[in-house]
Chains A and B, each alone.
Chain A
Amino acid sequence: MTEMSSSIRMSTGTKIYLYVSLIIIAAVVVVPLLTTALGGFKTLGDLRTNPFGLPVDWQWTNYTDILFGERYWRQMMNSLIIAVLTVTLTISVSAMAAFTFAHVRFFGSNFLLNYFLIGLMFPAATAILPLFIRIRDLGLLNTYWGVVLPQVAFGLGMSILLFRNYFRNLPEELFQAAFVDGCGYIRFFWHVSLPLSRPIIATVGIVSFVSSWNSYILPLIMLNSEAMYPWPLGIMVYRGEFGTEWQLVLAFITVTILPTIIVFFLAQKHIIAGLTAGAVKS
């Protein structure tokens, strides 16, 4: 693929068109992020008169007040606990389910797979009332599990699909060799499939981490104590308190999205590899 791309010679016009397009697309993505981050360094007056420029007077205290306050770290911890539980459960459950769908033929397997995949069509918001009732009946309201379990359930469709495609693309002879070596399904899953699935584990992990990190509606419905709030609800409360001081709200948003950006950059190679796995025969 790399060889092929490098062998394609482009004319100067095409190159200019390509670079201009990429710069525009990058700007669309980067400008709001930069505006938010820089806005956090401004005074309110500066923000109103100069929303897109560099701060006239850098207000570091906007950030330090948040970072040295207890609220930010508490919400960060809540978000982290919910995200880590969601990611761990999503990977464990979907990897095992996907392995079964990829390798074991049993009565109703196709129906069951389609049943899981139907979940792709419905966002959690469409089922929020029955979800609330079920979580309430389980006694999980205002607990981390009340948010984690629905998040895992709604993430299963996509995760199972990604894992299943990956497992199916592992060479059949590898499975046979392991079978001859003495593996059954469980040992093959544990000793061979899973260690070879790091790219797809990273992909599913990041996708469910980011989705959990940004989740707003589920925590809003399931959590009612401010001490349990993850950061999207935290921003809402923060905005309620500092609604007129936009520079503080922007600083708060910046420090809350920073972890996801860092995680994404660290794992972007794996994410792209995982999403395109099996697209071409290697």
Chain B
Amino acid sequence: MASVTLSNIKKSYGSLGVIHGVSLSMEDGEFIALVGPSGCGKSTLLRMIAGLEEITDGDVSIGGKVVNELTPRERNIAMVFQSYALYPHMTVAENMGFNLRLSGEPKPAIAERVAEAARMLDLTDLLDRKPAQLSGGQRQRVAMGRAIVRNPAVFLFDEPLSNLDAKLRVQMRSEIKTLHQKVKTTSIYVTHDQIEAMTLADRVVVLNQGRVEQQGTPMELYRKPANLFVAAFIGSPAMNILDGTVEADGGEPAARLGDGTAVRISADRKVKPGQRIKVGLRPEHLSPGAGRGALAGQTLLVEPTGAQTHVVFDLAGQAVTAVVDGEYPARYGVRFQASIAAEQVHVFDRESGIAL
């Protein structure tokens, strides 16, 4: 196990910069998720930590030692790839023990460590099979087994669940979390799926266009997004974003939407009357029902998911989603009313996108 530190990491391909000075510090045993949309540089960053990509500028340190010039093997990292990257001509046991074989470990020691990892991942019965004879989930477990068998300082996961179907993804997600709780190895996990990042990680780093937008615990990011990008990226369904102008509504600040609807905002927000803002409403914070300051509009779409129903309604000419109880009698075309507590209304500067 080891801490990982990135100091002002930059990466460019010729004149095209893709990572613009990222600095991060990951503690020993921590589980960090790098999350962001496609092309944000998260995989490039991971590959630079792994030693598979050259670093244009800055330092990567593992266990307090700068590793820029070291090979992946010398960095003592293990990586799990999206496509599993198992060796098709080797059995499960050979795949898992390959790195130990290369480092000249005696055969009995390899067999013992492979057996131990196989027990941990429930792969004991599959050790003699070839990757082609395994299901997607089993292959991913072998890829994880290959990583843990060498007892690395850091685990790197590059979108390891993207190739699995939705049900298996949820199952593997909990297996990864359980595994981390058992081995407590520093883990860096790249994903574009914010649910995966939120459920797995101790700390989530949101990347956009090669820069860190925000980092923090999953709940910090959810409750206090630093800007519009993070606000829209974290949370599912995504936060509703509406244009508004700040007004003082009976002493309390409010955002006046395009159609004249007033949305009360918390008094501690740093806003001034007349300021042009973006208002962020999380769908799960919109409670159905009439009342003072209720937001109302015609129901455009009803999406039952079982325990919950997503109601999309028209507000100030924009489709706004509310998450309501599955038993709520939502119907297409009827008027839908919802209210939201002032403290739960997010406010962003319209020009800079920064949270106010």
Contacts and interface: CB of A to CB of B under 8 A. Distances in A.
Contact of B99 (A173, A176, A182): A182
A178 B71 CA distance: 12
The 4 A-B pairs of least Cβ separation, nearest first, read A177-B85, A181-B99, A182-B73, A173-B85
Given A196-B88, A196-B89, A181 B102 contact: yes
A180 B51 CA distance: 8
A23 interface: no
B83 interface: yes
A112 B50 CA distance: 32
Interface residues of B, number: 23
Contact of B102 (A173, A182, A195, A196): A182
Interface residues on A, range: 10 to 19
A187 interface: yes
17 contacts: A171-B85, A176-B85, A177-B81, A177-B86, A177-B87, A177-B146, A178-B87, A180-B51, A180-B77, A180-B99, A181-B102, A182-B99, A182-B103, A191-B98, A192-B89, A195-B89, A196-B89
A255 B102 CA distance: 49
A173 B81 contact: yes
A128 interface: no
Contact of B82 (A173, A195, A196): A173
Contacts of B89: 192, 195-196
A179 interface: yes
A180 B83 contact: no
Nearest to B52: A176
B78 interface: yes
A40 B82 CA distance: 61
Interface in B21-57: 47, 50-52
Contacts of A173: 81-83, 85
A180 B102 contact: no
Interface string B62-74: 0000000001110
A195 B87 CA distance: 10
B301 to A, nearest CB: 37
Nearest to A195: B89
B79 interface: yes
A177 B71 CA distance: 12
B88 A176 contact: no
Given A171-B85, A173-B83, A173-B85, A183 B102 contact: yes
Contacts of B103: 182
Interface of B: 47, 50-52, 71-73, 77-79, 81-83, 85-89, 98-99, 102-103, 146
Nearest to B80: A177
Contact of B52 (A171, A180, A195, A196): A180
Nearest to B79: A180
A20 interface: no
Given A171-B85, A192-B87, A196-B89, A177 B79 contact: yes
Interface string A163-178: 0000000010110111
A269 B83 CA distance: 27
A176 B87 CA distance: 11
Contact of B83 (A171, A179, A196): A171
B83 A181 contact: no
Given A174-B85, A176-B52, 18 more contacts: A171-B83, A171-B85, A174-B87, A176-B47, A176-B79, A176-B85, A177-B81, A178-B87, A179-B52, A180-B50, A180-B79, A180-B99, A181-B73, A181-B98, A181-B102, A181-B146, A182-B72, A182-B102
A176 B81 CA distance: 9
B94 to A, nearest CB: 10
A191 B95 CA distance: 11
Contacts of A180: 50-52, 72-73, 77-79, 99
A180 B146 CA distance: 11
A179 B78 CA distance: 10
Contacts of B83: 171, 173
Contacts of B98: 181, 191
